[in-house]
Structure 1
Amino acid sequence: MVDHPHLGILVEFCLASDPPFPEKKFFQHLTQHANTLGLQVTVFSPHSINWTKGSISGYRYNESKAKWVQGTYPLPSLIYDRIFYHSRQHIRKVAPVIKRLQQEYGVLLLGKGLPGKWKVYHMLKDDGILSSFLPETLLFRPGTQWRKKLIEHKALFFKPSSGTHGKGVLKVTLAGKRIDVQGRTWHNHLLQIDFSSFSACETWLKKYVRQRQYIIQPYLELTTPDAIPFDMRILLQKNGTGQWTVTGNVIRTGPKGKLTSNLHGGGTAVEANRFLNKYYRPEQIESIFDQLNLLVGRLPHHLEKKHGPLFELGLDVGIDRTGEVWLLEVNSKPGRRSFQLSRDYQALSNAIYAPAKYANYVFHALKGV
């Protein structure tokens, strides 16, 4: 392992911005906190590594100049991967770089990114307790009995196994002799189309899905009585002693009558207790938090056994009209914006600083300090 406390944040450089990477404010505050722990932070890309010299071209935040400064730096000892992979091909491009850093230079990856929703579903469903939180899930492929399921449930939810920000999601509803499809395109535009037969709908679905992997679930009524879609985001992170903790939770709401509560689809975020008190009875709220405590106490440990090391997880949880909790998605690269929107600044601060604290813990634990 590289013998200095140096955290490298792995990103994709984009020429359209200066500095050329997203999440600048997050990385700035993370860097400032890391520096107080004696940890250097460099933002770099897979293409900015000089393998011959064992160095990287990247950016460090200069506090005295209040700006990001480009330079050449040693290889990091730890990697925080913040690349948002959009396809299996994208993963295959970057994975050899991370593997080489690990094998040849002893660089440690803080957490291994989760695979798509279908694989995560199978990691969780063999646990009797966790499986009770999972909606029935099928893979959309030739032979899938989606027509039978649509007749049974009246509405199904189709979503890309590796999608983000609510892009590509579809609600397929059986309305008499018609089949209604509504959702969001891959450019995050609203989509609505009707079909007069199952075969016409299936032909369109195959063309829309193409080679992407899609999962199918029963459509759950995860809306308020006044048709506002919502879910709960729970952020779990390892702290400065390597223990899983709940950083915070927040309710994300979408526009009235729309399909999802995703922030990129026009949603916002509000404080959880105030929202739940408005729509659920006290005994329901008590049951909701009992279910949530069971879920968060079990999931990260089980997932690590199946998948390998993790250090932060965003759980997207649905709560139906009866107060039943459903696990909708697990994200190993969660954002922080929902805490800012809900004005939970303590949770936001903890969410930003946690990666630096955990990286510092890992480095010193490995050094035996």
Structure 2
Amino acid sequence: MALVIHEDTAADAAQIGGKQPVLAILTVDDDTQLFRGNRSNFADIISTGRESGFIVYVLTVKKLKLNRKTLDGFTFEAASENWVQRKFPFPDLIYNRIPLREDELQPEVRRKIAACMKHPGVQIFNPKFFNKWSLFKWLRQSKTTKPYIPETRRMLTVSGLGKMMLQHKFLYLKPVSGKAGKGIMTIQLQPEKPLPYRLKIQGNKGSTTYNCGSIGKLWTRIKKESSGERYIAQQGIQLAALNERSFDLRTLVQKNRRGQWDISGIGARLAGSMSITTHVPRGGSVEDPEKLLVSVFGQDEANKLLNKTRTTALIIARQIERGSGRSLAEMSLDLGIDQDGNIWFFEANAKPMKFDEPDIRQRSLERIFQYSSYLIKMKGH
């Protein structure tokens, strides 16, 4: 894909801006391909923004100069299918889509985001990735969200893990900064077996199983596999399953044109036959949530569960925002329903991936600009 540089003058760019609202999609530089991130997603956001009357462009942290009126950014020209560099007006809103935690943790990136948050002329969406441990801490602080949280502890010592195994025969081990199911393990205690501790480790497609004779041996193996990453241990939930494949619900929650949390859609992910997670890259599949729930619980119960999922997702999103102490714009939530129809919270992502369901996808793009318009209107008051 070629890069074309257009040297628009700053004056032209400012004029193009006029009174149009401006949103910049923030990412980081990349030596080989200009900037990092999901290009097709960025192109979709730019085109939806145009339809909503916005100027939208991709902006890298390096090119974000807080004291300038115009900035160098990238836009996608559909006709030539090229990303082109142009001068753009300084943004009213910055939508953080820096794709990787390690990029976001770079000192210069952290400094720039902190400066944006202090800057009176800038509103920034989704200041940073969530940390799993913080999420559970925030959700435990409220009586309304606490019941949805499986028991979760930091995995620090072999004795701590032993205590947890006394209470729960099945545990999930998850990296604190994990993404897309990477590094997840499960432990199952089968006391009647000669090697009672069964450790399963999620690989790229399938999983590897180790059977250990003692908790000491189990701990050694876990430490080796976790290679120094920080982990949490979590009570294992026996999720509702179809043909022995468990499933969970992915709920997209975004702020709407009134500035309130709203459900943009619910999708379902069915685990791959050899996988311990439902993530599609690891063999999971995209399914219709209602069909799955009906096949397990029947129509009436499925309707109740879908409504309950919507209400629960909104309660959780509000509490995460409260706990984070920041204004957030969107998040996706992984919720599970166990065999008795109870809802459980597993994960929230501050930078939701593209949903595969076309209707959810379309709504998710439109909501970005509906909420942006709300923010700009509020700022004008």
- Fold shared per TM-score above 0.5: yes
Match of 2:309 among 286, 292, 296: 292
TM-score normalised by the chain length of structure 1: 0.88
Q: Which amino acid aligns with 1:213?
A: R
Is it true that 1:331 corresponds to 2:331 in the alignment? no
Range with bigger deviation, 175-184 or 260-269: 175-184
Shift of 1:170: 0.2
Aligned to 2:4: none
Aligned to 2:121: 106
* Contact map agreement 2:207 2:276 (CA 8 A) in 1: no
* Contact map agreement 1:87 1:162 (CA 8 A) in 2: no
Shift of 1:252: 0.6
Is it true that 1:258 corresponds to 2:271 in the alignment? no
Q: Which amino acid aligns with 2:316?
A: L
Aligned to 1:10: 26
Is it true that 1:365 corresponds to 2:365 in the alignment? no
Aligned to 1:122: 137
Aligned to 2:339: 321
Instruction: Work out the CA distance in 2 between the residues paired with 1:83 and 1:291.
Output: 33
Match of 1:348 among 361, 364, 368: 361
Range with bigger deviation, 74-83 or 326-335: 74-83
Provide, for residues 140-170 of structure 1, a one-character-per-residue CA deviation record: whole Å limited to 9, x for no partner. Answer: 1136521132243222100011111100000
SS in 1 for 2:30: coil
SS in 1 for 2:109: helix
Aligned to 2:286: 269
Q: Which amino acid aligns with 1:219?
A: G
1:1-369 maps to which residues of 2 (within 5 A)? Answer: 5-17=21-33, 20-50=35-65, 55-87=70-102, 90=105, 92-104=107-119, 106-142=121-157, 145-175=160-190, 176-178=193-195, 179-185=197-203, 190-307=207-324, 308-339=326-357, 345-368=358-381
* Contact map agreement 1:252 1:338 (CA 8 A) in 2: no
Provide, for residues 177-234 of structure 1, a one-character-per-residue CA deviation record: whole Å limited to 9, x for no partner. Answer: 422211225x677433232221111122223334422111122222515221211001
Instruction: Work out the CA distance in 1 between the residues paired with 2:36 and 2:75.
Output: 12
Q: Which amino acid aligns with 1:350?
A: R
SS in 2 for 1:240: coil
SS in 2 for 1:162: coil
Q: Which amino acid aligns with 1:317?
A: L
* Contact map agreement 2:153 2:232 (CA 8 A) in 1: yes
SS in 1 for 2:265: strand
Q: Which amino acid aligns with 2:199?
A: V
Cα gap change, 1:277/1:263 in structure 2, threshold over 3 Å: closer, same or farther? Answer: same
State the identity as a percent: 22
* Contact map agreement 1:235 1:314 (CA 8 A) in 2: yes
Instruction: Work out the CA distance in 2 between the residues paired with 1:243 and 1:150.
Output: 41
* Contact map agreement 2:158 2:216 (CA 8 A) in 1: no
The count of aligned residue pairs is 360
TM-score normalised by the chain length of structure 2: 0.85
SS in 1 for 2:306: helix
Cα gap change, 1:266/1:328 in structure 2, threshold over 3 Å: closer, same or farther? Answer: same
Instruction: Work out the CA distance in 2 between the residues paired with 1:346 and 1:302.
Output: 27
Provide, for residues 45-75 of structure 1, a one-character-per-residue CA deviation record: whole Å limited to 9, x for no partner. Answer: 2123356756533211234544321223343
Shift of 1:365: 2.2
* Contact map agreement 1:13 1:45 (CA 8 A) in 2: yes
Aligned to 1:342: none
SS in 2 for 1:135: coil
Cα gap change, 1:199/1:55 in structure 2, threshold over 3 Å: closer, same or farther? Answer: farther
Provide, for residues 80-128 of structure 1, a one-character-per-residue CA deviation record: whole Å limited to 9, x for no partner. Answer: 0011343598265422111223435732112333531111111111211
Instruction: Work out the CA distance in 2 between the residues paired with 1:107 and 1:74.
Output: 13
| Gaps in structure 1 of 5+ consecutive residues | 340-344
* Contact map agreement 2:73 2:85 (CA 8 A) in 1: yes
* Contact map agreement 2:335 2:344 (CA 8 A) in 1: yes
* Contact map agreement 1:167 1:188 (CA 8 A) in 2: no
* Contact map agreement 2:267 2:289 (CA 8 A) in 1: yes
Shift of 1:78: 1.0
Superposition RMSD in Å: 2.6
Instruction: Work out the CA distance in 2 between the residues paired with 1:306 and 1:105.
Output: 23
Instruction: Work out the CA distance in 2 between the residues paired with 1:50 and 1:293.
Output: 40
Shift of 1:302: 2.3
Instruction: Work out the CA distance in 2 between the residues paired with 1:122 and 1:112.
Output: 19
Cα gap change, 1:323/1:102 in structure 2, threshold over 3 Å: closer, same or farther? Answer: closer
SS in 2 for 1:348: helix
Cα gap change, 1:111/1:43 in structure 2, threshold over 3 Å: closer, same or farther? Answer: same
Instruction: Work out the CA distance in 2 between the residues paired with 1:229 and 1:14.
Output: 38
Range with bigger deviation, 240-249 or 102-111: 102-111
SS in 1 for 2:347: strand
Instruction: Work out the CA distance in 2 between the residues paired with 1:326 and 1:86.
Output: 25
* Contact map agreement 1:153 1:218 (CA 8 A) in 2: yes
